[in-house]
Structure 1
């Protein structure tokens, strides 16, 4: 995972695209008048794009990938985005090197820079920009969107420096571009609607005059923008692999001061599932599944950008205020995915109780924020999680404005009662409380639901109540000698989940010794069943020996070995999280689990995974 601390300012201008090929190129908006007060522009020839293996740009109304309908020499090829751009010497159309053909001084302070310094300057971009996020801004399966097709993408990781008469005067690293690409007519509006670029000053030998001119506020960050881009030659060999498709471009680059900081972090999930933690941007991901993007389905990049500025847009009904100090833009190159997204609330400045915070999402191309309904409040109100997210864009934290806690919990306790664990809790007050969910874990991290107000009358809440209420739930599916963690979740009528404290208990009852003496072999039914995402399997061993517990699919193929060890006589509990031997999530369906011992015992049962 990489972290970039950056600054940028969003621009708004229109740049006409002359062909479908240029729609795949990273092009951003022109400078505003405020930024033009101090900037320098470079005309770069033979900027290089390769390979054309990124996400597909066009689909037809049935979701079938289309070739470029305007590019006869291309042949029947799907039109895809370039994965990277660079300043590669000797890779021009005729073998030319990328060069700076002209430089213009846009109101640079004459006291800081001599005119000759600007005229003799060159810009060298010696690292490639890599695609880190891609998302269509219109549903191409909807005929009503034809004429407004486009995408939103980010490129990250560029590095450049300005040279005057052979000496480096300014070094810019961690360059990132964020842009909205409108596809050419008749598919889109035929222009770039907005975009920005930014980079980080980190050269130890930077000329102080250049730094003062382009970073007058001392932020250490500058705007780094591609103002226009025109192809000098584009090569898409017919019927060729995407790695051989490339393009050359003449591009105008403008460097100017910056004011709004951004923190950008990006990483990769090789198999489309697993966790990513971006500490600086204060957002975490836990991907359940992901389908790789790009022509070769191998794009698994994830990007988080925290923008240190007030978000714009219209608030939805029921939201009184929105966090003014920052918001997030999330992106990925995956074709499709499902993930939980957890936002750290440490820096949130909204008044009121975190239980009244809501996660807001603004789809690309829209100016209206929407309430994301499936959320959970975690860790005592310090984190807010969006569950089952299947699309990225802008995200923010809003407040409904009521400071009352949905459930004021007085106590939550666990006690062993015979062969069971008895959970009891007391609420002092309840506000719009639909009911409770009880979750259990063997490791304090991976919890499964074992009871819910939807199936147990005893867990239905009081709605709104100012009087003390006592609740009780008995967990009879426990094993002697095991340790369990329980978590209580209250759910509002809006479906908002509030996760309360976790309690721990070890099961050690008085009959343990006699029960073990009289123990028989037994494989119990998994619980819960059906399940998602994990389930627990209890079994008993009557004599010490080697024990194997395997999971199979209905075709008899081994999915995963859960246990393959020597066990003493006793009761045991194992959890299966729905993954195979490679750690990848398996599909929904029927699975078999089989217990085998070296003493001749064997038993098999069915379980059902649903998603």
Structure 2
């Protein structure tokens, strides 16, 4: 059974690379054998000897690991025992009769037995090379009479896995696992993810992770993402090209299983309890006295302290995070807040993360913030935007996430005193713990989201105080936020507030401040395609939108939107500006607009702010938001992967290829049907089996249902000489009557490729000639052969490999 012992730390099993993979099933005698946890053998840099055993490091599934750097080129001998002295005379050897058994690097299986001590006989022998690293793994299998072991060779010290995180969105969606290595891996090492949906009763292994340097990613398919308590995974390295789930624990050179806890697949969050989140400062509205009661439509303004002239309705001018003390009056003669200003941190009440196992010691803090936006819906409610400059999340006093800026949006209900709130904070990665950055920023947005789970008002007049529960969670998309102020108040003005980081600018022509300091302006450019019904005549919407607000009481302005970050625009004459109240309302077309130039569109005569986007009446293929498009060589194929955030009216993707600098046209090599209409991330993949080396260019042709299309960026994949000899499984298999056999040669070689019957007779010779380095393939036509099992064997220089195939007629 998998996962019987899980005591290894994520760095325990580390070091090695270039594969001599050796899986050896070891049927044994019926003695009460224990485990192959000691190794005996030659030194040659290992420090072992043939009389006293060296115990291995405990790894996954009760396997043991040894590793060494060869100090000589030699034939190396090993055998396994169950005690340091092997005093009972029994152990695990390659043969049940005297005599050594040599294992070459071809990867073929061999048999061994739990048997009597044959002294200097009965060894496993294999060739080692000076300067190479060797990893040996062994474990006793579930059956009482066998064990398995593997030997792997690599050209440098094996790397470890220092960081693991994922971008889980929902059960059933493909999930990307982000992997950080301790250094650049050797060419022989490969990275995989093993995952389960039933707590390791069954399991699967992902495709090989792709990446470079220390950063790699692997995909767990949607079928492996259930988000239950039994849904877990770990990351491991090996030199084996296609490790099976049953062999992964044995073949793992190094692994990260979250210190034996495994990585759970779930939504990541930390809930923080804030007692005393206070809004304050002259300008109101403040909470009303419970004795007086809430305001009405006829006397609304008279109950808002700070709006002394009775002409304005604004919000508190600042927000304090967990301030202790302060004035608490029950009249409308409010002076500015003069509390003690003592700042304390808050504590966590719930966590769902792979980084900690308890809420103990988790604290959270945000600096004071100022009012940047306000919209009144008197006498019932208002909406506010506050922005601040810093914050942090700590565990036991140590900073884990440090924030450079934050924004919070509050909706205040006057009748109940309750608030709802959403927020955002910018992560200072350089000052934060990289493991926490990986966990809470899996989408690489550089941000974290938070929203209010619940709130309880403390009714006061000169400031509003709230006890609130906040949930911190990963931000799935980037928010480019900006705040500014209007300098001039009164009547007709001409003032521009530029917000280049949010791709928008305000030009005010009429301004009236809100209260004593209601001059704030706020912009949030949200980098994801908005949902919602489109107005008649609009067939596409931009891959981003804006949320705009201000603390001004009244105003008239124009809004100029920078279109530089919107892809797929081919006909600017068909562009339109769209507006809506919020995500609960449909989009409408803003009728007063001006196309300033090909990259700027202006909305004129704006007197209210809310959410804005760019739409098209036709000729602009905007529906697909392509998040990523990449490729990598996996198992002698080029694997292309791409991901979309949203799709609208999307038909599919044509995949095109050409060799770089060939002077040739693009060639269509495949088509993948799109999701059609989707507001959730979708992952796609296509394998391309190229036949020669060179640099290949790839691009996607994204086609809509009405025939419109757009191209993705181009990517380059360099197919160099193969890294090792390899004989691939024939395809199709079973077959009738023709199948294709592929093989890889890292250097020019004399190649023999023969077909054998089940009796060992040569029935066909497909190749017998010198072949250059590279990828090769040959067809085998079995028209004249009967149904049954056949074997095909390749010999190239010192490399030999045999595989099985089936003919079915």
TM-score, length of structure 2 as denominator length: 0.38
Higher Rg: 2
TM-score, length of structure 1 as denominator length: 0.49
Return the structure number with greater relative CO, CA threshold 8 A, min gap 6.
1
